[in-house]
Amino acid sequence: MNKFKYSNTNKRYHTLDYFYKKKFGEKVFKVSLNAGFSCPNIDGTVGYGGCIYCSKLGSGEFAGNKNDSLEKQFIDIKDKMLKKWPHAKYIGYFQARTNTYAPVEKLKSIYEPILRIENVVGLNIATRPDSISEECLSYLEELNKRTYLTIELGLQTTNPKTSKIINRCHSLNCFDNMVKKLRDRNINVIVHIINGLPYESKKDMLNTIKHINKLDIQGIKIHMLSVIKNTKLEKIYNKEKFHILSKEEYIDIVINQLELLRPEIVIHRITGDPKIEELIEPNWLVKKFCILNDIDKEMVKRNTYQGAKINE
């Protein structure tokens, strides 16, 4: 029998579905939106070309069509998802690129209409730690008092060499400082990391988790590196053929990472979800539910759970 505290299923880690049902008392799903933001790592503010793995959609492959109004994007995606969960509530998810990279008045014109939609219970805003101004922080603090707000920060790795390879263009210190600023205002923080980055070892990936676990964060998204068509990463891979994690390697690393994480940290994502037609490697990544099931089975086999080795 599963005795993991934060689960009412066979999961041995703290799932987002479990968290939302406990918090809101019912099913909640995210509606992914594309507000047409740019990125300081693209326009030259901090760098050019963006992160090497970033697609032309800026990690917004499953967000709405940026040529449509946000309200239309929201309704189109919401109506599709309601067919599966007809009695759910919604969270507006600003997903593509850097969603605080604009003046505050512009941000208000983007966020506020979504909050006025019936049954919206919160916002998730994906951004970079170097792209939240003091004025923006004050607005987010006020927003947090009116709705369930979560800020998603991309870290990807704590290894400075890897960070340079992927052209991340912000420091670990910058990231840590922004987490503190957000938490000082009681704003929830989710961290994005990527396993399988070029030339990273398993130790590197576990070190990233160990660092994150010391911070006051509320959630994490764990991705597998996707080599996507028409990215700089594709060119590097074709030239250097760096090692791509096998499914078995990935599952082993993820379980080891979960064992090191505090049990109260919510696992928002545990694998990537690329579009099949855009994916170069790894091919096994297209079978998302197989990966999830294999993680569950292996955790049972090892008789382990999130936080099992938190003191190691």
Q: What are the sequence ranges of the domains in the chain?
A: 16-223+252-273
Check residue 2 and give its pLDDT.
Answer: 54
Helix axes 247-260, 202-213, angle to 10 degrees: 30
Q: What is the mean predicted confidence (pLDDT) over 168-189?
A: 97
- Give the CATH architecture of domain 16-223+252-273: Alpha-Beta Barrel (3.20)
| Choice among 69-83, 113-127, 132-146, 211-225 with the minimum mean pLDDT | 69-83
Smallest CA-to-CA distance from 194 within 54, 61, 308 is with 54
Check residue 117 and give its pLDDT.
Answer: 94
Q: What is the mean predicted confidence (pLDDT) over 186-203?
A: 98
Residues 213-267: pLDDT tens digits? Answer: 999 999 999 999 999 999 999 999 999 999 999 999 999 999 999 999 999 999 9
Please confirm whether the linkage preceding 103 is cis (ω < 30° from 0).
no
Cα-Cα-Cα-Cα dihedral sign, residues 203, 204, 205, 207: positive
pLDDT score of 275 more than 90: no
C-alpha distances out from residue 26 to 17, 18, 82, 90, 119, Å: 9, 10, 13, 11, 12
Angle at 222 between CA 266 and CA 137, to 5 degrees: 65
What is the C-alpha separation between 111 and 190, in angstroms, rounded? 19
